[in-house]
Structure 1
């Protein structure tokens, strides 16, 4: 499964590395939005779950992954700028769906608030409208370590918190990636954390009221940082919010074990490609291991 690779000029100021996994039989395209410190490689399992039911697009932010060599980095990129980049990618690839992971949900919410005409549905995984005590502790320690460019502590912080339920092999890869990022990537992530702690998430929630398409929020049963129960508060902000909880998994969901991967695939595909009968179902809160109207 080889992707079509392109580096696109966006807004006349960024060059964005993209991968398109085209499926001849698919009539819908979905764009996947990375979380903080992540690259296209982080979605390897998700691509396998969605392809060939969908054409799948991956991309790296201008400061990260295979995009960073094509850009200068004089300043940090804001979440609103990331949302505008995403909107241009939606138009370029004529995408109907979006899916985000973790903090990629912020720019995805902001993009959806612009009501892009092509987008029909969106999936947000491991995201919450609240900064609860565990997440605040993670962000505050992250800001300290990133500010000091302490690679050892940044690498271990991710694995000891958000990544605590990852298999050991994934933890090793995770540590190697996070601890070897460029200085400007650490500055970028420090900037994003400062935005979150300064109320950027609250602003995103305010804009979420403008979203008109169905949005599915998927969280892990064991994720204490973006919990399933707290995610259900999105029902107060997003008009057509729907929810699912993946049993026996934490923040990284389908990367943690095979059963979570199978359950994630079922939840996503049934939401994005519902049957006629499923369209008539009413959505209600669910317990871990169950899906809601999916």
Structure 2
């Protein structure tokens, strides 16, 4: 676990946003998935910081970052942080929600982005159609509406193994870490709290204009419709490719950190130098 003293804080227009900042070199920003925080990348931060400056924020409303009190967009929050750091353009690496934030940011603030890695994600305009996922989401909503935190956590953790495995097939340490982070984020919010997030629209019409390298990474055991959407992103941009991590579902960076890190380092190594 990252100690609180390792975090830095950016005074945004709506409260302080937390981030980890380590290493030196070209900037890589790691964007976590929903309901958790930057510690999702505990296995990536030291590996990447050996050759890069690595920034791992807690998205607004998650981890140690402030909750929203007014309308906001993920991409704008990230852009404000990148301008504050004055160290870009950045390679944005995101898992799930974080991958959507990465893609949305290159659409909205292209001058700040050098490349995108979207893991288990495309743009933020995605809704699952997979029947198994829809059932799990419905159970999550039911549990949350009833104030059943344990029931919600049970459903949340089903995404780790995916449809075709059981929780017993996953390293218990991965489940424990995700559970701890999700409990921390849930504790920040009230059941009747207003959702101030403003969705981005019209993203796919602009995706063909993304002029930086894009890599999509999918766990082979993730939901088929999500894998298809990520692969669509890679096909639609001018410079895109897609890779699959075997033996993992929605969190390949946690289940297969060695393979995931190798994919990232290889992608970073192949990027043109900053300014070229």
TM-score of the alignment, normalized to the shorter chain, above 0.5 = yes
The count of aligned residue pairs is 257
Aligned-residue Cα RMSD (Å) equals 3.1
Deviation string 1:189-240 (CA, Å, 9 cap, x unpaired) is: x959x98xxxx58744344334221110000111126654442121454332
Change over 3 Å in CA distance of 1:170–1:4 after alignment to 2: closer
Q: How does 1:233-272 map to 2 (within 5 A)?
A: 233-235=232-234, 237-256=236-255, 260-272=256-268
SS of residue paired to 2:137: helix
Distance 1:237 1:135, change over 3 A: farther
Match of 2:8 in 1: 6
Higher relative contact order (CA 8 A, sep 6+): 2
Give the 3 Å change call, closer, same or farther, for CA 266–161 of structure 1 in structure 2.
closer
Give secondary structure in 1 for the equivalent of 2:44. Answer: helix
1:30 is aligned to 28
The 5-angstrom pairing of residues 1-294 of structure 1 reads: 5-10=7-12, 12-23=13-24, 26=25, 28-68=26-66, 73-74=68-69, 78=72, 81-93=73-85, 94-95=87-88, 96-128=90-122, 131-133=128-130, 134-163=132-161, 164=167, 166-179=170-183, 181-182=186-187, 184=189, 191=195, 203-224=202-223, 227-235=226-234, 237-256=236-255, 260-274=256-270
Give distance in 2, aligned partners of 1:138 and 1:237: 30
Structure 2 gap segments, 5+ residues each: 162-166
Q: In structure 1, what is the Cα distance between the partners aligned to 2:36 and 2:173?
A: 17
**TM-score between the two structures when normalised by the length of structure 1:** 0.75
When residues 214 and 152 of structure 1 are mapped into structure 2, their CA distance, relative to the original with a 3 A threshold, is: same
1:4 is displaced (CA, Å) by: 5.8
Residues 1:241 and 1:138: Cα distance change in structure 2 (over 3 Å): farther
When the two structures are superposed, what TM-score results if normalisation uses the length of structure 2? 0.79
Change (3 A) 1:90 1:252: same
Q: Per-residue CA shift, 1:64-89, capped at 9, x if unaligned?
A: 21123xx5x546x55xx211011122
Preserved CA contact (<8 Å) 2:37 2:181: no
Is 94-103 or 222-231 further displaced after alignment?
Answer: 222-231
Map Cα deviations across residues 125-172 of structure 1 (whole Å, 9 max, x no partner).
Answer: 122556231333333333333333320111100122335453112213
C-alpha separation in 2, matches of 1:209 and 1:265: 27
State the distance in 1 between where 2:129 and 2:208 align. 22
